Amino acid sequence: MSSKVIHALYDDDDVLLNAVKEVRAANHHIEEVYTPFPVHGLDKAMGVAPTRLAIMAFLYGITGLGFAIWFLNYIMIVDWPQNIGGKPSGSFLENVPAFIPVMFEMTVFFAAHLMVITFYMRSKIWPFRKAENPDPRTTDDKFLMEIEVDGNEDEMTSLLESTGAIEIKVKEKH
């Protein structure tokens, strides 16, 4: 494992996308790409695996639905049954039409909040964490590709120059 990385700066997203494809075709590993906005097709070009966040959202939604069913049954049928607007209070099944909006909202609430927490944990975005952006220009209008150097610094530099990089720097890995 190398302690150096190459930072190649680009000023166009199409040039960056083609550069990523060329670097991957040359069997080099791209550590990260920093962009000021999402670039369509970049994840596929980098070989990033598809996200499993949708599966977790489904599981969190099922959890929320289960919690809502249990909670409504407990508070409205078991603990304190009430005759509200002439609705029956003898069993859960008799009250399902009245409970559907609450069950739906709890499903959405659990899915949304637990997905955000999962995303932050998976991305290691903690409160008060220092930003790890290697070049502040990537928040404005530039694109940066970070590639690990494995003793092939000159080869990588010439490859990146041929892909249209406007600036190439070799830095110590942080």
The number of distinct structural domains making up the chain is: 2
95 & 112 share domain: yes
Residue 92: give the domain boundaries: 53-123
62 & 119 share domain: yes
The answer to whether 161 touches 6, Cβ cutoff 8 Å, is no
Cα three-residue angle 72-60-120, rounded to 5 degrees: 130
* pTM > 0.75: yes or no: no
What is the band of 1 on the pLDDT scale with cuts at 50, 70, 90?
low
How confident is the model over 41-74, as pLDDT tens digits? 999 999 888 888 889 999 999 999 999 999 999 9
How confident is the model over 92-134, as pLDDT tens digits? 888 888 889 999 999 999 999 999 999 888 888 888 888 788 8
165 & 118 share domain: no
104 & 141 share domain: no
26 & 71 share domain: no
